[in-house]
Structure 1
Amino acid sequence: MALTPSLLWSAFPGLALQCSNFTPPILPDAQVLSITSHPVYNLTLPLAIPGLPTNLPPLTFCNVTVTLTHGTANDTVFVTVALPPRERWNGRYQATGGGGLAAGYDHSLVVPVLSGFAASFTDGGLTLNHTIDPQSGEWGMNNDGTLNRDLMLNLAWRSIHDMALASKHVIHEFYGKPANYSYWNGCSQGGRQGYAAAAKYPTDFDGILAMAPGLSMEYIGPADFWPVVVMANEGQLVPPCVFDAFQRAIVETCDPLDGAVDELLSDYDLLLSCHFDPQTLVGTKVGCEDTETMITATQARIVGKILDGPRTPEGNKLWYGLAPGATFSGIAGTRSINKALVPVPFVPALGWLKYMVLRDANYDFTKMSYAEYFEAFNTSVTIGASFLGADPLNISAFHSAGGKLLSWVGLADEYIPPSSLLNYHDQIATSLGSYSATHEFYRVFTAPGVGHCQGGNGPQPLNAMTALVDWVEHGRAPETLPAGTNSANGKVISRDLCLYPKKPVYLEGRADEEGSFACEEAPTELEPSVDRCAMIIMM
């Protein structure tokens, strides 16, 4: 979606005059190349934009673009700021993040602006001056085959700070005063960017909403390519219908553990509490389009390896496997072309390995051996740890500055295992001595049945940003997050999401009704650390 003006007039005739004559911001670590602006009147959005509600009203705002570069980096970074008319501004600023290998998206500005926020996003220079889709990963490799460390740094955290400073300058000029409060909003890569902002620039934002954060991308990148390697080396591609049968079986096995059979897996420690053996499905017949197939022992072995996650021949576990109950199609996708199955790798994972790790645009990843994969995995960790790893993200200064960090994660996340976030939270709690001390500024909620950022069968958080604003501005920390969704049979499912480490427990009544579950009491003391990487899947 391009944020371009329509020819329609609006109820804000003074917007054109206000939306002009901006002065370039002064940035300590970057040089501003240009600043342009124009009013946008009654912008009608396309009918379907992923992640956005349908039937949104038209948008009217001042669109400002700041173009900048970083010394010898030879990069061109675009920061776009969307400013609602003064009559509609709520006095707040909201920065938005990206996803996958992208630093930001223009459509992420829509909901904040409609809600009265001044909002911004940045491409971080990763579009190479609007010539590529950053999800391809092409930006990660220089023409001479070396790693583009400047753009890696931009994605890691530098572009976040540039955007915040430039946006606050523009907001001050447009409204004649600074924003009363500044917020971050991002999911996946955008969630990781939120944690990076808290760690590297602890005073940039008063509140950070970081959903399903891609912490430790140096592990996530190669781990999300693991299913493709497994199928190639086990000599068989698994059709979607077979993967779906395994997903249904996992849900049927683990669903009753919370006391209700509702197709939602509520326990974030399912790797420890629910034992599923893929071999039990061997010989089962599955309907696939216009034919029927029988699940093989090889397919069961492949599923077991995907659920277990990448593990070396010596048995060393490198990262988490697919979350129990998550769809396989995200990172283990296959499809039929001319009646032949072909793998459908997760695009950012392929781009990460292709352009950042091996830096070989022509490498045939469908033939990657286990040995080559494990070597690439080690290279990924070496390259990515200092830029995109979780270890450098110390959020203690954000705590000291009075900031609030709110996260939620879908327990059926198909791309980023929820355990990675929960372990990070436990590390913070351990450093502070208790969950209660952590919850003074940092809270994580778990969403049963919800996929990556959205989707799945579970209730989606409804007003997470509202909860964060209430926490920041009024000191009312959320104990639960309201959530809801429409089920496949048309029923409305309502449920409050629990504050980690609490878990939902069924009480009584219909499982899809609000109040049928309660959040169990959290432990008063920190529990002994559990290894959520431990192999629980029976092979």
Structure 2
Amino acid sequence: MLKSFLLAAASSGLAAAVTCDDLASSLTFKDVDVISASSSYYTKGSTINIEGEQSNACFKQTYPEVDMCRVVLTVATSPTSHNYMEVWLPSGSTPWNGRLLGTRNGGLAGCIEYEDMAYYSSLNFATVGDNGGHNSSTSDGSKLLNNNEAVIDLSYRSRHISVVAAKQVIKQYYSQPASYSYYVGCSTGGRQGLKSAQEFPDDFDGILAGSSASDFNHLSDWTSRFLLITGFGSDARALSKDQWVYVHEEVLAQCDEPLDGVADGILEDPTICEFNAAALQCGTSSDSRCLTQTQVQTVNDVYSELYDQSGNLLYPSLSLGAELVASQQGLFTGSVIGNAANFISNAVYNDSNWDPRSLSQETFTRADETDVLHGNISSWNGDLSAFRRAGGKLMMYHGMADPNIAGENSQRYYLHVAKTMGATDEQLDEFFRFYRISGNGHCSSGGEGAWEFGQIAAARNGKFSAVQQLVDWTEKGIAPDTITGTKFHNDDPSQGVAFERSHCRFPYRTTYKGNGLDPNVITSWTCEKINNWQECGPGALPRLC
């Protein structure tokens, strides 16, 4: 459906004005310092060999899904830093739909997401991607060490310069500008989308930002803190992976059907559950399912918010229901996810030997103090008034079983925007909508819920598309009340659809209608408003929300 709509938007007048091979030598730029440029034509299904450091750190090859002109630019971002970027221009037998779409980075950046470039260009968008200002794997922060310009590039500069340059490439190739510009990203890419809305409201007309790594400094603090909570394998505080399975089963027993009416392994709204971890404590029993009092405290601490020494909230708690995948990823086994530790060591302390076990309140303070120096990489500005005045539309979503970035943090950002702008939910609805995706892990990592809605290449198999909804809202004024996702059996499209579900925009809660209706049918669910939603941030009493 999305493909046919976007193709219909293309016209015969959108052919290239210059051949691809001649494009690079003819390009001129304003306010963009291009160090090098090349352009090459590729047919659908051909092989693109990735050169240089991008090949070493990220991908060695990629495969376009349409005929296209590939433009490769190296652009100066400061006297000592530069950005590697690519623009893919539908060409030949592939009509351009007249639009630009910017793609994301992940983790600490360093890589162009070529799968997303190929996916969105197959929808006839001219697409742009960049390496976030440095080449590395997504968890390698070594390029940030003693290199504040690289941190600023990661924060915002590489993304902004890339879209400015891409718009000029498009205009010169097609002899007309893009009619609309969009951005789609998740995780770090979600943060980049919010940063664009906050600081560069004219860059994109529509933004789809998922599982955003906003409040980036405190996210790094929060992730690193699990090491101090859970200890190591021989520590009395530690739980085995099997014990985390039992914790997950108890979470479902207390928070699934008793609260949302359906025993499906999905917590529709984990923020309203008052989980009692003490139910797993069994005194002196040797049963492996039993937790000691010390281990029960560990579980409670895992689900606690992060505060500074004055009692101010820094970051919300891990979502109930996310604990199983988090334990499988090693988050509770005496290690720290590389993104967090590498950012703190290389960017906050400028010390590659920093030991995460030394994490303290001083770390939290230092991260805050370096935020301005880092180009406000926190991306926590709640004033979106310039984006609203520019006519922009922002769709934000978050998986509520996300083990890597607390799902409630995006809800917290929505509340932050409402408070900063003094706006009601009806006023925010005009340009900014937030969707809680039940049972979805981190971005494309799956989960028990209906998590595929065309948001990235790895979630393209369902019949519903949030990208289509973003286009319709931006260009036709059709505002999306829900995002509808698909869940395939075992996350394998060849095994067929297990169910589909519409996820309501906040402050509405996806609610089962009951009366024996089949919960796998979309119409068995409705959206009910949370009347006191302004009070439903981290730390709120669940029974109030």
String of CA shifts for 1:123-182, please: whole Å, max 9, x gaps: 12221xxxx32421112212xxxxx22122112211122111111111122222211111
What corresponds to 2:369 in structure 1?
382
1:469 to 465, 468, 471: 471
- Structure 2: state its 5+ residue gaps: 1-15, 49-62, 454-463
Q: Residue 494 and residue 185 in structure 1: after superposition, are their counterparts in 2 closer, same or farther (change >3 A)?
A: same
Residue 436 of structure 1 and its aligned partner are, at CA, apart by 0.9
What corresponds to 2:447 in structure 1?
456
What corresponds to 2:504 in structure 1?
498
AA paired with 2:29? I
Q: Does 1:93 align with 2:100?
A: yes
Structure 1 SS opposite 2:129: strand
Q: Is residue 238–residue 298 contact of structure 2 (8 Å, CA) maintained in 1?
A: no
Alignment of 1:169-180 (within 5 A): 169-180=168-179
Residue 511 of structure 1 and its aligned partner are, at CA, apart by 1.2
CA distance in 2, matches of 1:18, 1:447: 41
Q: Is residue 97–residue 186 contact of structure 1 (8 Å, CA) maintained in 2?
A: yes
- Structure 1: state its 5+ residue gaps: 1-13, 47-55, 143-147, 336-340
Q: Is residue 206–residue 470 contact of structure 2 (8 Å, CA) maintained in 1?
A: yes
What corresponds to 2:518 in structure 1?
510
Q: Does 1:347 align with 2:351?
A: no
AA paired with 1:92? R
1:392 to 360, 381, 402: 381
Alignment of 1:54-73 (within 5 A): 58-72=65-79
Residue 253 of structure 1 and its aligned partner are, at CA, apart by 0.9
Q: Residue 261 and residue 294 in structure 1: after superposition, are their counterparts in 2 closer, same or farther (change >3 A)?
A: closer
CA distance in 1, matches of 2:162, 2:73: 9
String of CA shifts for 1:357-390, please: whole Å, max 9, x gaps: 233222343xx15xx4322122122223651224
Alignment of 1:71-110 (within 5 A): 71-72=78-79, 74-86=80-92, 87-102=94-109, 104-110=112-118
CA distance in 1, matches of 2:304, 2:161: 40
Q: Is residue 45–residue 66 contact of structure 2 (8 Å, CA) maintained in 1?
A: yes
Q: Does 1:441 align with 2:431?
A: yes
CA distance in 2, matches of 1:286, 1:153: 54
What corresponds to 2:8 in structure 1?
none
CA distance in 1, matches of 2:168, 2:47: 28
Structure 2 SS opposite 1:63: strand
String of CA shifts for 1:186-217, please: whole Å, max 9, x gaps: 11111111111112111111111111111110
CA distance in 1, matches of 2:343, 2:467: 31
Q: Residue 285 and residue 244 in structure 1: after superposition, are their counterparts in 2 closer, same or farther (change >3 A)?
A: farther
What corresponds to 2:417 in structure 1?
428
What corresponds to 1:361 in structure 2?
352
Residue 428 of structure 1 and its aligned partner are, at CA, apart by 2.6
2:399 to 410, 435, 439: 410
Alignment of 1:92-491 (within 5 A): 92-102=99-109, 104-127=112-135, 132-142=136-146, 148-232=147-231, 235-256=236-257, 257-267=259-269, 270-271=270-271, 273-283=272-282, 294-311=290-307, 317-330=313-326, 333-334=329-330, 343-365=334-356, 368-369=357-358, 372-384=359-371, 387-392=376-381, 394-430=383-419, 431-454=421-444, 455-460=446-451, 461=453, 462-488=464-490
TM-score for both structures, normalised by structure 1: 0.83
Q: Is residue 17–residue 173 contact of structure 2 (8 Å, CA) maintained in 1?
A: no
Residue 184 of structure 1 and its aligned partner are, at CA, apart by 0.6
Q: Residue 321 and residue 522 in structure 1: after superposition, are their counterparts in 2 closer, same or farther (change >3 A)?
A: closer
Structure 2 SS opposite 1:394: coil
Q: Is residue 308–residue 322 contact of structure 1 (8 Å, CA) maintained in 2?
A: yes
Q: Is residue 217–residue 384 contact of structure 1 (8 Å, CA) maintained in 2?
A: no
CA distance in 2, matches of 1:240, 1:114: 41
Structure 2 SS opposite 1:80: strand
CA distance in 1, matches of 2:30, 2:130: 15
AA paired with 1:406? M
What corresponds to 1:51 in structure 2?
none
AA paired with 2:390? A
Residue 284 of structure 1 and its aligned partner are, at CA, apart by 9.9
Instruction: Number of aligned residue pairs: give it.
Output: 488
What corresponds to 2:29 in structure 1?
26
Structure 2 SS opposite 1:493: strand
Structure 1 SS opposite 2:43: strand
Q: Is residue 191–residue 210 contact of structure 1 (8 Å, CA) maintained in 2?
A: yes
CA distance in 1, matches of 2:490, 2:380: 40
Residue 245 of structure 1 and its aligned partner are, at CA, apart by 1.9
Q: Residue 45 and residue 252 in structure 1: after superposition, are their counterparts in 2 closer, same or farther (change >3 A)?
A: farther
Q: Residue 200 and residue 25 in structure 1: after superposition, are their counterparts in 2 closer, same or farther (change >3 A)?
A: farther
Structure 1 SS opposite 2:409: helix
Q: Is residue 228–residue 332 contact of structure 1 (8 Å, CA) maintained in 2?
A: no
Structure 2 SS opposite 1:533: coil
Q: Is residue 217–residue 389 contact of structure 1 (8 Å, CA) maintained in 2?
A: yes
Q: Is residue 15–residue 62 contact of structure 1 (8 Å, CA) maintained in 2?
A: no
Q: Is residue 280–residue 290 contact of structure 2 (8 Å, CA) maintained in 1?
A: no
CA distance in 2, matches of 1:528, 1:259: 25
Q: Residue 285 and residue 34 in structure 1: after superposition, are their counterparts in 2 closer, same or farther (change >3 A)?
A: farther
Q: Residue 518 and residue 45 in structure 1: after superposition, are their counterparts in 2 closer, same or farther (change >3 A)?
A: farther
CA distance in 2, matches of 1:285, 1:35: 70
AA paired with 2:40? H
Structure 2 SS opposite 1:161: helix
Structure 2 SS opposite 1:43: coil
What corresponds to 2:6 in structure 1?
none
CA distance in 1, matches of 2:323, 2:91: 42
CA distance in 1, matches of 2:476, 2:237: 56
AA paired with 1:247? H
CA distance in 2, matches of 1:392, 1:533: 21
Structure 2 SS opposite 1:343: coil
CA distance in 2, matches of 1:533, 1:122: 38
Q: Residue 415 and residue 384 in structure 1: after superposition, are their counterparts in 2 closer, same or farther (change >3 A)?
A: farther
Residue 286 of structure 1 and its aligned partner are, at CA, apart by 13
Q: Residue 347 and residue 427 in structure 1: after superposition, are their counterparts in 2 closer, same or farther (change >3 A)?
A: same
AA paired with 2:306? P
AA paired with 1:429? A
CA distance in 1, matches of 2:285, 2:150: 46
CA distance in 2, matches of 1:162, 1:331: 39
CA distance in 1, matches of 2:507, 2:395: 14
